[in-house]
Amino acid sequence: MTKVKRKRRYRRGYPVAVLVGFEADHAMLWMIFSRVAKPSTRLELDERRTNEKALYNFHESVVDALKPVLKEGVKSVVVAAPARTTYTTDFMEHVHKHHRYLIQSKNTNRANFAELVGSADNHANVTELVKTSQFTKLIAETTSEEADRTVDVMEKHLYRSGDGAVVLYSLKEIEDTIYDRNRKDDFGNAHLLLTDQYLAGSRNKNRIHRLLQIAQNLKVKTRVVDAETAAGNRISQFGGIVFFSK
């Protein structure tokens, strides 16, 4: 009797960053996961770049496309464009002028922007781009800053017992909370943090990946943090995984 091979489940991994690839007449948004890059949105520039109103509207459409992603908790944004162009500079000037709240250091909802030279117009280009040491370094820097801010928020929750703040660091308790079908409120202010070391060392990775996936579906802001960073070290003190909300 011939054995039927079980199809392996496709896993995208956990979200790492959003990549915006600018070209002369459009921009491509990509969600960068730990295992794969997935195309998200293509945005068109209707007129020439010399048309200031059209360029303004184009940049606004990129910001509008980023907002839902940032709201979900992915705060690392890499903007890329081919060499010898000013596309990323033009966009960042627009952000500084019209959306300064996205880059203000004291804003808990700020994003970490980084610029990179290279085309991100198609899957082949993106695959090569994310393999470069420059991209890896940028992601490490931006995600580290992002994690530090999130851990700062967690620290404040630790001292808010009595006003509805919840901090959990038992995997079973976190699962019970996230899988609770009787829960009436949403997870809009909830965060799930774990270190890459905790994920790699887990005896039941399927259990962790399931938790991450369901948490993301419920709009919990999920982040996997480098254990070697200051934020990762703090999370490791709780066993490697922390859930907090208010």
Query: In this predicted structure, what is the pLDDT of residue 160?
Result: 65
Asked whether residue 22 falls in the same domain as residue 111, the answer is: yes
Residue ranges making up the domain that contains 216: 146-245
φ and ψ at residue 41, rounded to 5 degrees: -145, 145
Which of 131, 161, 191 finishes a domain?
Answer: 131
When pLDDT is cut at 50, 70 and 90, the band that residue 16 belongs to is: confident
* Cα 86 from Cα 104, distance rounded (Å): 23
φ and ψ at residue 154, rounded to 5 degrees: -60, -40
Strand partners, 32: 17, 37
Would you give the distance in Å from CA 137 to the centre of its chain?
Answer: 16
Mean pLDDT across 34-49: 91
Asked whether residue 33 falls in the same domain as residue 79, the answer is: yes
Asked whether residue 125 falls in the same domain as residue 186, the answer is: no
Which of 131, 166, 191 finishes a domain?
Answer: 131
Asked if residue 77 belongs to a domain, the reply is yes
Asked whether residue 74 falls in the same domain as residue 160, the answer is: no
Asked if residue 21 belongs to a domain, the reply is yes
φ and ψ at residue 132, rounded to 5 degrees: -70, 150
Range list of β-strands (E), 107-165: 112-117
Tell me the three state secondary structure of residue 173: helix
Asked if residue 202 belongs to a domain, the reply is yes
Mean pLDDT across 26-45: 92
Nearest to 44 by CA among 55, 52, 33: 55
Mean pLDDT across 135-151: 80
Domain count within the chain? 2
Query: In this predicted structure, what is the pLDDT of residue 90?
Result: 97
